[in-house]
Structure 1
Amino acid sequence: MNLLEKEALIRDAAETLESQRPEAVLKWAVETFPNITFACSFGAEDVVLVDMLQKVSPSTDIFYLDTDLHFKETYETRDRLEARYGLKFIRVSPKLTLEQQAERHGDELWKSDPTACCNIRKVEPLTDILGKYEAWITGIRRDQAPTRANAKKIEYDVKFGLVKFNPIADWTSDDVWNYIRENELIYNPLHDQYYPSIGCEKCTRQVLPGEDPRAGRWSGFEKTECGLHK
């Protein structure tokens, strides 16, 4: 299938599946693109998709970007999910250790240049792992941020050169939490402590009442995305 044929297929499927449940999107994704992977951050949206994927296609690869800077609660959530579902998440690490990064770019790069830090610890490792696949699945939702408002459930990811599936793009936060409660899912306990969006410990703070849910990410910088999503 050449790129034009693939784009036509994606366009048609995006229209057909827009009104379908996430499970239907996942089923079509894994059947149409068997060489597919799911990028998991262990946030609320992603634990929903882990659960759905175990029901639809339990053999599909699931990876996470280990920046070496996650909250301990995030690593504990990973371990609890592995125990519940009997799976092993693929750990993807940056080429540089934190020590090597400090030697080359100075201590605490996340304070002076968080975009450069994200590129080293997230974007470059993501680019490497996605190069092994034909398609990937994410947990982004349209109402999370203006940068995600136009996300389709199925689209061609120009940045990384593969097909991208966003099965819960049309869900609200309430939809996510209703699914978590109804299915008694494991989730990161930081969500109960005013952390609606959880990234690295160095660049994530609690969100105050009335603030945007992503206000706790890179607080003090004009930055709303780590660079994984266009």
Structure 2
Amino acid sequence: MHKNRLFVILAFMFLNCTAEAQTVKFGVKAGINFASVSAYDNPTNSTYQNKSYGNFRFGGIAEINWHKLAIQTELILDGKGGIDTYINPENSTNRRKNTRLCYLETPIVFLYKIPTKTGTLLFGGGPYAAYGISGKYSLSGIVFDSAIDGSNQVVFGNNENSDYKRTDYGLNLRAEIRLLHGIGFGINYEYGLRNIATPSVYDDIDIKTRNKVLGIAVSYLFNNH
């Protein structure tokens, strides 16, 4: 009951802010992510070596504007994942894993606006929530003295038969320069707060894993005037 009341209050506040806003704009965005999956809190003698790789991001934008402030939300397909090498001399394991994950993501970003001669500078941050819809990984190297080389589809879930948890959430920092005719060039950094690791054959149960993304994107807002 309390959660329902809180939701109604937040929805009313959002609608009230929208009604008082100067403008509500819509647009599209596309860009490149440099994603990585980083391990931490490693309780064993094993080591993780993480590398990022290029992935994609594209979707729609809705932006509520005031004089100096803006709230921007998106519904985007966000490519994450990364390349990691797992080395554990205790069980003769040295394997490389290349993971590509696709999430349906909604960030809510609070932005401060600074007018310039060529447009507007925006910077700020906020939370994001993401839902895993597809993924693929490839493995190569040696696991328990046995050579491996293959690929498979990612299984989302919360048990030992899963590869990663389906949902992710975290923080999003962003800076953007938007030109007068509505085209914007931005950079953002996503830091996952959820441990998306699940118990599996190749990973220690107590090792936690987070998504991290550095992205650049081009956006366009319709009716930007």
Same fold (TM over 0.5): no
Bigger radius of gyration, 1 or 2? 2
Measured against the shorter chain, the TM-score band is under 0.3
Q: Which has the higher contact order (CA 8 A, sep 6+)?
A: 1
Give the structure with the larger helix fraction.
Answer: 1
Instruction: Tell me the TM-score normalised to structure 2 length.
Output: 0.22
Structure number with higher strand proportion: 2
TM-score of the pair, normalised by structure 1: 0.22
